[in-house]
Structure 1
Amino acid sequence: MSVFRQTIEVRWVDCDANQHVRHSAYADFCTHARIEWLRAAGFGFEQFQQNGFGPVIFKESTEYFKELKMSERVLVEVRAAALATDGSRFTIRHEMLKEDGRLAARHEISGAWFDLRARKLMVPPPNLQAIFAELARTDDFAEIPLKQA
């Protein structure tokens, strides 16, 4: 299992009037890193379109530790914090590190896979489950119990 890492440069548009990264930009950085992780693993936007499904996010949270400012480079590390055994639900934790290695923020999302045709939650295809199986786990990783019908 491996940690996915994506470096992102803070742009002018990512900053607020306090001259540091605005709160919602942290979520944008993490979304970009997740999309790059899936694309690099062979499951990009085209595969979601072809298969007629996508992620739906139920919960997001961010903890802030150190300021990020314009032109800094941020390393976003992506790990699985929880997964259902059938891959239907997930929690992903992102840690955003400053260039000196200090933790700037921790962002976590919880979600599931949504069938765009049937308009209901679904189990992802085996190739996407395999990509999640290869992602590094957090130290406090947990299995998400399957929902009973």
Structure 2
Amino acid sequence: HHIGPILFREECLFKREIAFGDNVAVNIQLQKATNDFSRWTMQHEIWKHESILSALITCDGAWIDTRLRKLTVPPAEVIKSFEKIPKAAGFKIYNKEESKK
């Protein structure tokens, strides 16, 4: 396969400072996706000391065929991996036309 992720938007909200030596964990959740996972929005939560939300990173992305330079549907193994990503409480499936608005 000749695909890779492409980001349309990335937004970071900084909440608390992280210092060198702090214990940091990253959680990921899918907020929305097309039914074939060709387009998606995911959020990364950066936690300090397991209880302090330090940052939220939200990414809107898709998959690109690196040979054709066109957006594409990911292969089955990528879809299976995306199905395993934890879903946000308000997770929704949307159609590709909605992503163009």
TM over 0.5: yes
8 A Cα contact 2:25 2:50, kept in partner: no
The gaps in structure 1 that reach 5 residues or longer are 1-50
Residue 136 of structure 1 corresponds to: 86
Higher strand proportion, which one? 2
Q: Is 2:73 the counterpart of 1:118?
A: no
Residue 41 of structure 2 corresponds to: 91
Runs of 4+ in 1 over 3 A off after TM superposition: none
RMSD between superposed Cα atoms in Å = 1.4
Residue 103 of structure 1 corresponds to: 53
**In the TM superposition, what is the alpha-carbon distance from 1:147 to its structure 2 partner?**
3.4
8 A Cα contact 1:89 1:144, kept in partner: no
Residue 28 of structure 2 corresponds to: 78
Higher helix proportion, which one? 1
8 A Cα contact 1:85 1:146, kept in partner: no
Determine the C-alpha separation between the residues in 2 that align with 1:60 and 1:135: 19
8 A Cα contact 1:79 1:135, kept in partner: yes
Select which of 26, 46, 58 maps to 2:8. 58
Determine the C-alpha separation between the residues in 2 that align with 1:142 and 1:66: 29
The residue matched to 1:147 in structure 2 has which SS? helix
**In the TM superposition, what is the alpha-carbon distance from 1:75 to its structure 2 partner?**
0.2
Determine the C-alpha separation between the residues in 1 that align with 2:92 and 2:76: 20
What is the TM-score with the length of structure 2 in the denominator? 0.90
8 A Cα contact 1:81 1:91, kept in partner: yes
The gaps in structure 2 that reach 5 residues or longer are none
What is the TM-score with the length of structure 1 in the denominator? 0.62
Identify if the C-alpha distance between structure 1 residues 140 and 53 changes in structure 2 by more than 3 Å, giving closer, same or farther.
Answer: same
Comparing both chains, which one has the higher relative contact order based on Cα–Cα distances under 8 Å and sequence gaps of 6 or more?
2
Identify if the C-alpha distance between structure 1 residues 100 and 124 changes in structure 2 by more than 3 Å, giving closer, same or farther.
Answer: closer
The residue matched to 2:4 in structure 1 has which SS? strand
